[in-house]
Structure 1
Amino acid sequence: MSTYLWDPFAALGRMDREFDEIVRRAWGPRRPALTGRSQSVEFAVPSADVVTEGEDVLINLELPGVDVEHDVVVEIDRGRLVVRGKRDGRREQERAGRVHRERWSGSFRREFQLPERVDASRISAGYERGVLTVRLAGAAAEPKTTRIAVTAASGDHEHESDHDHESASTPAE
Protein backbone atom coordinates (compact mmCIF):
# COMPACT_ATOMS: atom_id res chain seq x y z
CA MET A 1 0.00 0.00 0.00
CA SER A 2 1.45 3.39 -0.92
CA THR A 3 0.92 6.55 1.05
CA TYR A 4 -0.03 9.86 -0.48
CA LEU A 5 1.18 13.09 1.10
CA TRP A 6 -1.45 15.75 0.46
CA ASP A 7 -0.06 19.20 -0.23
CA PRO A 8 -2.84 21.72 0.57
CA PHE A 9 -0.97 24.50 -1.23
CA ALA A 10 -0.83 22.56 -4.49
CA ALA A 11 -4.60 22.09 -4.33
CA LEU A 12 -5.01 25.74 -3.33
CA GLY A 13 -2.93 26.94 -6.25
CA ARG A 14 -4.88 24.78 -8.66
CA MET A 15 -8.24 25.99 -7.33
CA ASP A 16 -6.99 29.58 -7.46
CA ARG A 17 -6.01 29.26 -11.14
CA GLU A 18 -9.31 27.57 -11.99
CA PHE A 19 -11.26 30.33 -10.22
CA ASP A 20 -9.30 33.00 -12.11
CA GLU A 21 -10.07 31.24 -15.37
CA ILE A 22 -13.81 31.09 -14.56
CA VAL A 23 -13.83 34.82 -13.72
CA ARG A 24 -11.93 35.70 -16.88
CA ARG A 25 -14.28 33.63 -19.05
CA ALA A 26 -17.36 35.18 -17.46
CA TRP A 27 -16.19 38.80 -17.44
CA GLY A 28 -13.38 38.80 -19.96
CA PRO A 29 -9.81 39.84 -19.21
CA ARG A 30 -10.86 43.49 -19.34
CA ARG A 31 -13.92 45.38 -18.24
CA PRO A 32 -15.32 48.66 -19.54
CA ALA A 33 -14.31 51.83 -17.74
CA LEU A 34 -16.84 53.37 -15.41
CA THR A 35 -17.48 56.17 -17.91
CA GLY A 36 -19.39 53.71 -20.10
CA ARG A 37 -17.09 54.27 -23.07
CA SER A 38 -15.45 51.45 -24.93
CA GLN A 39 -12.12 52.30 -23.28
CA SER A 40 -11.12 49.51 -20.90
CA VAL A 41 -9.03 49.06 -17.77
CA GLU A 42 -7.44 45.99 -16.26
CA PHE A 43 -9.67 43.61 -14.35
CA ALA A 44 -9.55 44.21 -10.59
CA VAL A 45 -8.79 40.61 -9.45
CA PRO A 46 -5.01 40.33 -9.00
CA SER A 47 -3.22 37.25 -10.30
CA ALA A 48 -1.59 35.11 -7.62
CA ASP A 49 1.12 32.46 -7.49
CA VAL A 50 1.58 30.14 -4.51
CA VAL A 51 5.10 28.69 -4.29
CA THR A 52 7.30 27.05 -1.66
CA GLU A 53 10.74 28.28 -0.68
CA GLY A 54 12.33 25.83 1.74
CA GLU A 55 9.89 25.45 4.64
CA ASP A 56 8.08 28.69 3.78
CA VAL A 57 5.15 29.28 1.47
CA LEU A 58 5.09 32.46 -0.60
CA ILE A 59 1.93 33.97 -2.03
CA ASN A 60 2.75 36.49 -4.75
CA LEU A 61 0.00 38.83 -5.92
CA GLU A 62 0.41 41.15 -8.90
CA LEU A 63 -0.58 44.65 -7.77
CA PRO A 64 1.24 47.09 -10.06
CA GLY A 65 0.70 50.76 -9.33
CA VAL A 66 -1.14 50.15 -6.05
CA ASP A 67 -0.25 52.15 -2.94
CA VAL A 68 0.07 49.14 -0.64
CA GLU A 69 0.59 51.21 2.51
CA HIS A 70 -2.77 52.97 2.11
CA ASP A 71 -4.89 50.82 -0.20
CA VAL A 72 -4.09 47.19 0.70
CA VAL A 73 -5.01 45.20 3.83
CA VAL A 74 -3.49 41.79 4.63
CA GLU A 75 -5.23 39.98 7.50
CA ILE A 76 -6.17 36.59 8.90
CA ASP A 77 -9.88 35.95 9.25
CA ARG A 78 -11.25 32.59 10.47
CA GLY A 79 -8.25 30.55 9.33
CA ARG A 80 -7.99 32.30 5.97
CA LEU A 81 -5.41 34.78 4.70
CA VAL A 82 -7.33 37.71 3.21
CA VAL A 83 -5.75 40.28 0.91
CA ARG A 84 -8.10 43.11 0.00
CA GLY A 85 -7.78 46.61 -1.28
CA LYS A 86 -8.59 49.00 -4.06
CA ARG A 87 -7.05 50.10 -7.31
CA ASP A 88 -7.35 53.58 -8.63
CA GLY A 89 -6.23 54.91 -11.95
CA ARG A 90 -6.32 58.01 -14.03
CA ARG A 91 -5.31 59.13 -17.45
CA GLU A 92 -4.95 62.56 -18.91
CA GLN A 93 -4.51 63.50 -22.56
CA GLU A 94 -4.37 66.84 -24.28
CA ARG A 95 -5.67 67.09 -27.84
CA ALA A 96 -6.23 70.21 -29.87
CA GLY A 97 -6.14 72.42 -26.79
CA ARG A 98 -8.60 70.27 -24.84
CA VAL A 99 -7.75 68.17 -21.82
CA HIS A 100 -9.38 64.75 -21.54
CA ARG A 101 -9.21 63.19 -18.06
CA GLU A 102 -10.48 59.80 -16.96
CA ARG A 103 -10.49 58.21 -13.51
CA TRP A 104 -11.49 54.72 -12.44
CA SER A 105 -11.39 52.63 -9.33
CA GLY A 106 -12.20 49.11 -8.26
CA SER A 107 -11.80 46.92 -5.24
CA PHE A 108 -10.36 43.43 -5.02
CA ARG A 109 -10.30 40.60 -2.51
CA ARG A 110 -8.37 37.33 -2.53
CA GLU A 111 -8.63 34.62 0.14
CA PHE A 112 -6.37 31.67 0.83
CA GLN A 113 -7.10 28.83 3.27
CA LEU A 114 -4.28 28.46 5.79
CA PRO A 115 -3.10 25.13 7.18
CA GLU A 116 -3.59 24.70 10.93
CA ARG A 117 0.13 24.70 11.66
CA VAL A 118 0.72 28.28 10.42
CA ASP A 119 1.71 30.66 13.21
CA ALA A 120 0.14 34.08 12.58
CA SER A 121 3.07 35.85 14.27
CA ARG A 122 5.41 34.40 11.61
CA ILE A 123 3.53 35.82 8.60
CA SER A 124 5.10 38.80 6.85
CA ALA A 125 4.32 40.82 3.74
CA GLY A 126 6.46 42.95 1.43
CA TYR A 127 5.96 44.85 -1.80
CA GLU A 128 8.51 45.22 -4.57
CA ARG A 129 8.19 46.04 -8.28
CA GLY A 130 4.42 45.69 -8.36
CA VAL A 131 4.29 42.33 -6.56
CA LEU A 132 2.96 41.86 -3.03
CA THR A 133 4.64 38.84 -1.41
CA VAL A 134 3.13 37.27 1.70
CA ARG A 135 5.51 34.85 3.43
CA LEU A 136 4.01 32.09 5.58
CA ALA A 137 7.08 31.05 7.56
CA GLY A 138 7.20 27.31 8.26
CA ALA A 139 3.93 26.54 6.46
CA ALA A 140 5.54 23.97 4.16
CA ALA A 141 7.44 22.22 6.95
CA GLU A 142 6.58 18.59 7.51
CA PRO A 143 4.65 18.10 10.73
CA LYS A 144 6.95 16.64 13.35
CA THR A 145 6.04 13.38 15.06
CA THR A 146 6.51 13.35 18.80
CA ARG A 147 6.20 10.15 20.73
CA ILE A 148 4.58 10.44 24.14
CA ALA A 149 5.27 7.86 26.83
CA VAL A 150 2.22 6.19 28.38
CA THR A 151 2.39 5.15 32.00
CA ALA A 152 -0.16 3.01 33.79
CA ALA A 153 -1.66 4.25 37.02
CA SER A 154 -0.19 2.53 40.09
CA GLY A 155 -3.61 1.20 41.16
CA ASP A 156 -4.10 -0.58 37.83
CA HIS A 157 -0.80 -2.43 38.20
CA GLU A 158 -1.63 -3.76 41.67
CA HIS A 159 -5.07 -4.93 40.56
CA GLU A 160 -3.65 -6.80 37.57
CA SER A 161 -1.01 -8.52 39.70
CA ASP A 162 -3.62 -9.60 42.30
CA HIS A 163 -5.76 -11.05 39.52
CA ASP A 164 -2.77 -12.90 38.08
CA HIS A 165 -1.99 -14.43 41.51
CA GLU A 166 -5.61 -15.53 42.04
CA SER A 167 -5.80 -17.34 38.72
CA ALA A 168 -2.47 -19.01 39.38
CA SER A 169 -3.56 -20.27 42.82
CA THR A 170 -7.01 -21.46 41.75
CA PRO A 171 -7.01 -25.28 41.58
CA ALA A 172 -7.77 -26.80 38.20
CA GLU A 173 -10.88 -28.91 37.88
Structure 2
Amino acid sequence: MSNLIATKNGTERNSRLGFSALPSISSWMDDIINTNFGNEFVSNFNTGITLPAVNVLDNDEEYKVEMAVPGLKKSDFDISLDNQLLSISAETKIEDSEENNNFTRREFGYSSFKRTFSLPETVETDKINAKYEDGILKVTLPKREEAKKKPLRQIEVS
Protein backbone atom coordinates (compact mmCIF):
# COMPACT_ATOMS: atom_id res chain seq x y z
CA MET A 1 0.00 0.00 0.00
CA SER A 2 1.30 3.45 -0.87
CA ASN A 3 0.66 6.61 1.03
CA LEU A 4 -0.08 9.98 -0.47
CA ILE A 5 0.76 11.43 2.92
CA ALA A 6 3.92 10.93 4.92
CA THR A 7 3.72 8.30 7.64
CA LYS A 8 5.98 7.87 10.64
CA ASN A 9 6.59 4.23 11.31
CA GLY A 10 10.37 4.12 11.68
CA THR A 11 11.16 3.23 8.06
CA GLU A 12 13.09 5.56 5.81
CA ARG A 13 11.08 7.24 3.07
CA ASN A 14 12.39 8.70 -0.17
CA SER A 15 9.78 11.42 -0.72
CA ARG A 16 7.57 13.72 1.22
CA LEU A 17 4.55 11.82 -0.10
CA GLY A 18 5.55 8.73 1.85
CA PHE A 19 6.45 6.17 -0.83
CA SER A 20 8.70 3.38 0.37
CA ALA A 21 12.40 3.59 -0.51
CA LEU A 22 12.68 -0.14 -1.28
CA PRO A 23 11.51 -1.70 -4.54
CA SER A 24 8.58 -4.07 -4.39
CA ILE A 25 9.08 -7.85 -4.29
CA SER A 26 7.42 -8.17 -7.70
CA SER A 27 9.97 -5.78 -9.26
CA TRP A 28 12.82 -7.83 -7.71
CA MET A 29 11.32 -11.00 -9.20
CA ASP A 30 11.00 -9.31 -12.60
CA ASP A 31 14.68 -8.28 -12.40
CA ILE A 32 15.75 -11.83 -11.47
CA ILE A 33 13.76 -13.42 -14.29
CA ASN A 34 14.92 -10.87 -16.88
CA THR A 35 18.58 -11.11 -15.78
CA ASN A 36 18.94 -14.87 -15.31
CA PHE A 37 16.75 -16.21 -18.08
CA GLY A 38 16.94 -13.57 -20.78
CA ASN A 39 14.16 -12.26 -22.96
CA GLU A 40 13.54 -15.60 -24.69
CA PHE A 41 12.08 -17.07 -21.50
CA VAL A 42 10.01 -14.02 -20.62
CA SER A 43 8.50 -13.66 -24.10
CA ASN A 44 7.14 -17.24 -23.92
CA PHE A 45 5.92 -17.03 -20.36
CA ASN A 46 2.66 -15.29 -19.46
CA THR A 47 3.71 -13.26 -16.42
CA GLY A 48 0.52 -11.19 -16.36
CA ILE A 49 0.64 -7.58 -15.31
CA THR A 50 3.16 -6.75 -12.63
CA LEU A 51 2.48 -3.76 -10.41
CA PRO A 52 2.45 -0.81 -12.81
CA ALA A 53 4.69 2.15 -12.18
CA VAL A 54 2.94 5.13 -10.62
CA ASN A 55 3.67 8.85 -10.69
CA VAL A 56 2.10 10.99 -7.97
CA LEU A 57 2.04 14.70 -8.67
CA ASP A 58 1.23 17.31 -6.04
CA ASN A 59 0.32 20.81 -7.11
CA ASP A 60 -1.58 23.69 -5.49
CA GLU A 61 -5.03 22.47 -6.58
CA GLU A 62 -4.84 18.66 -6.57
CA TYR A 63 -2.93 15.41 -6.44
CA LYS A 64 -2.66 13.41 -9.66
CA VAL A 65 -1.97 9.70 -9.76
CA GLU A 66 -0.72 8.54 -13.17
CA MET A 67 -0.31 4.85 -13.92
CA ALA A 68 1.12 3.32 -17.10
CA VAL A 69 -1.15 0.37 -18.01
CA PRO A 70 -1.22 -0.01 -21.81
CA GLY A 71 -3.39 -2.53 -23.60
CA LEU A 72 -6.38 -2.37 -21.27
CA LYS A 73 -9.90 -1.08 -21.77
CA LYS A 74 -11.72 1.36 -19.50
CA SER A 75 -14.02 -1.46 -18.45
CA ASP A 76 -11.04 -3.49 -17.13
CA PHE A 77 -10.48 -1.05 -14.25
CA ASP A 78 -12.07 -1.06 -10.82
CA ILE A 79 -11.42 2.10 -8.81
CA SER A 80 -12.95 2.33 -5.36
CA LEU A 81 -12.73 4.49 -2.26
CA ASP A 82 -13.25 3.07 1.22
CA ASN A 83 -12.94 5.84 3.79
CA GLN A 84 -9.55 7.35 2.89
CA LEU A 85 -8.22 4.25 1.10
CA LEU A 86 -8.15 4.50 -2.71
CA SER A 87 -7.87 1.14 -4.54
CA ILE A 88 -7.07 0.82 -8.23
CA SER A 89 -7.20 -2.62 -9.80
CA ALA A 90 -7.55 -4.21 -13.22
CA GLU A 91 -8.20 -7.71 -14.47
CA THR A 92 -7.99 -9.15 -17.98
CA LYS A 93 -8.55 -12.60 -19.43
CA ILE A 94 -7.31 -13.64 -22.86
CA GLU A 95 -8.23 -16.79 -24.76
CA ASP A 96 -6.88 -17.79 -28.14
CA SER A 97 -7.41 -21.06 -29.97
CA GLU A 98 -6.43 -22.37 -33.37
CA GLU A 99 -7.41 -25.64 -35.02
CA ASN A 100 -5.71 -27.27 -37.96
CA ASN A 101 -5.86 -30.77 -39.48
CA ASN A 102 -2.82 -31.91 -37.50
CA PHE A 103 -3.07 -30.01 -34.25
CA THR A 104 -5.17 -27.95 -31.90
CA ARG A 105 -3.64 -25.06 -30.02
CA ARG A 106 -5.35 -23.23 -27.21
CA GLU A 107 -3.70 -20.54 -25.14
CA PHE A 108 -5.16 -18.47 -22.38
CA GLY A 109 -3.90 -15.87 -20.00
CA TYR A 110 -5.02 -14.03 -16.93
CA SER A 111 -3.48 -10.90 -15.50
CA SER A 112 -4.39 -8.55 -12.71
CA PHE A 113 -3.00 -5.96 -10.33
CA LYS A 114 -4.18 -3.92 -7.38
CA ARG A 115 -2.62 -0.75 -5.97
CA THR A 116 -3.91 1.01 -2.87
CA PHE A 117 -3.19 4.51 -1.58
CA SER A 118 -3.92 6.15 1.77
CA LEU A 119 -5.38 9.55 1.01
CA PRO A 120 -4.82 12.60 3.18
CA GLU A 121 -7.85 14.18 4.83
CA THR A 122 -7.32 17.21 2.57
CA VAL A 123 -8.68 15.37 -0.52
CA GLU A 124 -12.18 16.30 -1.67
CA THR A 125 -13.31 12.68 -2.05
CA ASP A 126 -16.64 13.54 -3.72
CA LYS A 127 -14.81 15.12 -6.65
CA ILE A 128 -12.27 12.37 -7.46
CA ASN A 129 -12.31 11.42 -11.15
CA ALA A 130 -10.40 9.08 -13.45
CA LYS A 131 -9.53 9.12 -17.13
CA TYR A 132 -7.87 6.42 -19.26
CA GLU A 133 -6.23 7.55 -22.48
CA ASP A 134 -3.31 6.28 -24.58
CA GLY A 135 -2.39 3.59 -22.04
CA ILE A 136 -2.20 6.01 -19.10
CA LEU A 137 -4.72 5.98 -16.25
CA LYS A 138 -4.98 9.41 -14.60
CA VAL A 139 -6.81 9.77 -11.30
CA THR A 140 -7.35 13.35 -10.15
CA LEU A 141 -7.72 13.97 -6.41
CA PRO A 142 -8.83 17.58 -5.85
CA LYS A 143 -7.75 19.24 -2.61
CA ARG A 144 -10.23 20.79 -0.23
CA GLU A 145 -10.38 24.57 -0.34
CA GLU A 146 -8.65 24.94 3.04
CA ALA A 147 -5.74 22.76 1.85
CA LYS A 148 -5.02 24.76 -1.29
CA LYS A 149 -1.98 26.96 -1.25
CA LYS A 150 -2.94 30.59 -0.78
CA PRO A 151 -1.16 33.33 -2.77
CA LEU A 152 1.34 35.54 -1.02
CA ARG A 153 -0.38 38.45 0.73
CA GLN A 154 1.38 41.57 1.90
CA ILE A 155 0.35 42.85 5.30
CA GLU A 156 0.79 46.53 6.03
CA VAL A 157 2.12 47.63 9.32
CA SER A 158 -0.06 50.33 10.89
TM normalised by structure 1 equals 0.58
- Corresponding residue for residue 123 of structure 1: 128
Show the 5 A alignment for 1:83-122: 83-89=88-94, 100-122=105-127
Listed one character per residue, the Cα deviations across residues 41-91 of structure 1 (whole Å, up to 9, x for unaligned) are 35432221111244211101122111222x211111131111012133456
Cα RMSD of the aligned pairs, angstroms, is: 3.5
Q: How far has the Cα of 1:124 moved from its partner?
A: 0.6
Change (3 A) 1:93 1:56: farther
Show the 5 A alignment for 1:6-155: 8=5, 10-12=15-17, 14-15=19-20, 18-20=22-24, 22-25=25-28, 27-29=29-31, 39-41=44-46, 42-69=48-75, 71-89=76-94, 100-138=105-143, 141-142=148-149
AA aligned to 2:5 is P
Q: How far has the Cα of 1:100 moved from its partner?
A: 4.1
> How many residue pairs are counted as aligned between the two chains?
128
Distance 1:137 1:110 in 2: 19
- Equivalent pair of 2:26/2:50 in contact (CA under 8 Å): no
AA aligned to 1:50 is V
Distance 1:128 1:38 in 2: 26
Higher relative contact order (CA 8 A, sep 6+): 2
Change (3 A) 1:8 1:124: same
- Corresponding residue for residue 38 of structure 2: none
Structure 1 or 2, whichever has the larger Rg, is: 1
- Corresponding residue for residue 165 of structure 1: none
AA aligned to 1:122 is K
AA aligned to 1:117 is T
Distance 1:51 1:126 in 2: 15
Q: How far has the Cα of 1:107 moved from its partner?
A: 2.0
**Counterpart of 1:18 in 2: which secondary structure?**
coil
Greater helix share, structure number: 1
Distance 1:90 1:11 in 2: 43
**Counterpart of 2:108 in 1: which secondary structure?**
strand
TM normalised by structure 2 equals 0.63
In structure 2, stretches of 5+ residues that fail to align are 7-14, 35-41, 151-158
